[in-house]
Amino acid sequence: MRNPAIRAVLWDFGGVMTESPFLSFRRFEGQRGLPKDFLRGINARNHDHNAWARFERSELSPQQFDEAFATETRAAGHEVRGLDVIDLLYGEIRPQMVTALKLCKGRFINACVTNNVSAGPGRGIERDSGRARESKAILELFDIVIESSKVGVRKPEVRFFELTCAQLGITAPQAVYLDDLGTNLKPARAMGMHTIRVETPEIAIAELENVLGIRLT
């Protein structure tokens, strides 16, 4: 039976609708001879104010981010240009998650809540026109897309989730939120949201079915 307490499903994009970008990070690290999880470690340092965080809030231009990230990685022992890492963010689409989203349409408000960046022409997803078309088609399935680069706040900042609830006209307990990062889920859960950490589509969808009270396969 459908859960009447839930009005909205909030979906992260990278790592939920697509494979985790950390897989691309690891391939890149292997190709460059970098230590394992070097890029994740850089992004975890001073995580509210590092180059990555500032770029996701559009506080830096693409060129400024490229330089700032290079400075941070150089200080850690291995220089990596920021825009080279941005090109790694867009993984393979997970068709099971897309199907689940489609089955939620018309039953719940569906919002894409994503930390993203504006990397400029020819960078990021624009490097692959086919992947860009696929992603655009998925984004069009959502009732609303809330992007850190446009609203000026990012997950896991509480303000991001407060803004999301206000835009959707809901309270936090009326939402279930899917993300692949526990750090993003923690503040949402503290606000009262139902949270699901996405590691594999099959397990995440089963958990979502349990919360919503509907079949998603």
Token representation of residue 45: 């340092």
Q: Please state the rounded mean pLDDT for residues 159-181.
A: 98
CA distance 15 to 6: 23
Q: Please state the rounded mean pLDDT for residues 79-88.
A: 92
pLDDT in the model for residue 125: 63
Does residue 122 have a pLDDT over 70? Answer: no
Distance of CA 201 to the CA centre of its chain: 15
H/E stretch holding 104 reads: helix 95-104
Pairwise pLDDT comparison (4 vs 1), residue with the higher score? 4
Does residue 85 have a pLDDT over 70? Answer: yes
Helix axes 158-168, 182-191, angle to 10 degrees: 60
Mean pLDDT of the chain, nearest integer: 94
Pairwise pLDDT comparison (131 vs 151), residue with the higher score? 151
pLDDT in the model for residue 131: 76
pLDDT in the model for residue 33: 96
Does residue 7 have a pLDDT over 70? Answer: yes
What are 175-206's pLDDT values in tens digits? 999 999 999 999 999 999 999 999 999 999 99
**Confidence grade of residue 54 (pLDDT, cut at 50, 70, 90):** very high
Q: Please state the rounded mean pLDDT for residues 60-73.
A: 96
Torsion sign (Cα): 135, 90, 132, 65: positive
The domain limits of the chain are 8-18+91-212, 22-86
User: What number of H helices and E strands is found in the chain?
Assistant: 11, 5
**Confidence grade of residue 88 (pLDDT, cut at 50, 70, 90):** confident
pLDDT in the model for residue 47: 85
Q: What is the CATH number of domain 22-86?
A: 1.10.150
| Fold of the domain spanning 8-18+91-212 | Rossmann fold (3.40.50)
* 104 close to 9: Cβ distance less than 8 angstroms: yes
